[in-house]
Amino acid sequence: MINISIITQEDKFFIPKNIKILIANDRIKVKSIHIISSKGSLENKKIFFLKSFLFAGAFRFGLKYVFHNLKDMLDKCFNYKLFFGENSIQSLAVYNNIKFSRIKNPNDNEFIKNLKLKNLDFIVSYSAPSIFKDKLLKIPKYNCINLHCSLLPNYSGIMPSFWVLYFKELYTGSSVHLMDSKIDNGELVLQEKINIEGIKSIYKLNLLTKKIGGELMLNSILGIVDQTIILKPNNVEKNKYFTWPNSSEIKFFIKNGGKIY
């Protein structure tokens, strides 16, 4: 059995589906799931983006978000038997009897001490909004491994779905890579190039790249254990790294037809 723990950030639409792929595989045991609550997480930026994209799909996305939360609350009332805990990361953990916690710092000594007791083969990151330091990186038998939804090393950093649409790219990708002490750095495990011609919505692009990325993560874990994967170099340069867009960049994005939903 391949033992893994998952470190991620709050997400109600994409990451639960990716976690479910790992849970469903009979070779993998998900020992714990941990959500990082930090200033750098997308959840804590949602008000800013909903205001910024007010006339570019934010209202429709807000309704979807509210409806999603109501489904999660209803599911909880019925012990997650209605929707099988698929409407949030926490509900998915509870439904599948997986240990769950919210943390502020994955490099905290007490947190690291607890992870060491789990005899982990991998620590899986889905958009974890923190840099993993050496003590954390050395815990698993194999690797800490991350899913990033761009064609690395291009568009590393934050919100690749926004930036590839901002620059009107015709292609992007999903990449799974080994983690080191730099953001989105480390050797590439698996990667898939994706044609995105005609897509203008951040949500729709995330839906596509996260779905493909979820399968890549599963195949990466199994491939590393089975020694069927040849790692490729991935050296992120400063000019390929992106951070949060500012108000002017969002206005330019919307003016050119970009949408949040």
Neighbour tally for 30: CB within 10 Å = 22
- Note the helical H segments in the chain: 15-24, 46-52, 59-77, 89-95, 109-116, 134-137, 160-166, 202-226, 247-255
Q: What is the pLDDT of residue 95?
A: 92
Residues in the chain, total = 261
Whose tokens are 């000019």? That residue is 239
- Asked whether residue 50 carries a pLDDT value surpassing 70, the answer given is no
- Which whole number is the average pLDDT over 121-145? 95
CB-based contact 183:238 (threshold 8 Å): no
Residue position matching structure tokens 């008000």: 47
116 three-class SS: helix
Instruction: State whether residue 33 is helix, strand or coil.
Output: strand
Confidence at 238, pLDDT banded by 50, 70, 90: low
140 pLDDT more than 90: yes
Band of pLDDT at residue 261, cut at 50, 70 and 90: confident
How buried is residue 128: exposed, middle or buried, by Cβ count under 10 Å (0-12/13-18/19+)? buried
Q: What is the pTM of this model?
A: 0.90
Helix/strand/coil for 2: strand
Choose between 38 and 13: higher pLDDT.
Answer: 13
d(CA 113, CA 135): 10
In eight-state DSSP terms, residue 131 is: P
Judged against a pLDDT cut of 90, whether residue 84 lies above it is answered with: no
Token pair belonging to 203 = 């949500």
Highest mean pLDDT among 41-55, 87-101, 205-219: 205-219
Domains and CATH numbers, the chain: 2-255 (3.40.50.170)
pLDDT tens for 186-223 read 999 999 999 999 999 999 999 999 999 999 999 999 99
Rama region for 159: left / alpha / beta (φ>0; ψ in -120 to 50; rest): left
In this prediction, residue 40 carries a pLDDT of 57
Residue 45 above 90 pLDDT?
A: no
pLDDT at 134 over 90: yes
Asked if the bond preceding 106 is cis, omega within 30° of 0, the reply is no
Q: Give the tokens for residue 212.
A: 């493909």
Write b or e for each residue in 106-124: b if 16 or more Cβ atoms lie within 10 A of its Cβ, otherwise e: beeeebbeebeebebbbbb
Does position 259 have pLDDT exceeding 80, yes or no? yes
Tokens describing residue 65: 């978000």
